[in-house]
Amino acid sequence: MPYVAICHDQNENALALRQSELQAHLDYVAGIADQVLVAGPMSIEGSSSFNASLFIYAVDTEQEARELLEHDPYFRAGIYAEVTLAPFTPARGTWL
């Protein structure tokens, strides 16, 4: 079952941390591409820059999803202040 992770940035220094960890983050996501259905930054709450991330992992358990997230350089750098991790059931859409 896929798991979705919605990761909200911490307010202070998040953008600078995103920039400094970008290449390591991209390399990490490329390395786990077989376990990633969707990944990308988000601008929420009226922000003009990225302040959140969305991942949908192709894994069987929440623990597997949590491990993938926790090994991400963005997570390790402390960019995320709040993370929602939940099972996801795709029901419709062009990527199904």
Answer yes or no: is 96 within a domain. Answer: no
Q: Does an H or E element contain 30, and which?
A: helix 14-31
| Within a domain: 92 | no
Domain range for residue 64? 3-87
- Would you say the pTM of this structure is higher than 0.85? yes
Q: Decide if 47 is inside a domain.
A: yes
Asked if residue 26 belongs to a domain, the reply is yes
Considering its fold, how many domains does the chain have in total? Answer: 1
Q: Is residue 57 part of a domain?
A: yes
User: Per the domain annotation, does 56 fall within a domain?
Assistant: yes
The string of pLDDT tens digits covering residues 19-61 is 999 999 999 999 999 999 999 999 988 777 889 999 999 999 9
Does residue 93 lie in a domain region? no
> The CATH number of the domain where 60 resides is what?
3.30.70.1060
Asked if the model's pLDDT at residue 63 lies above 80, the reply is yes
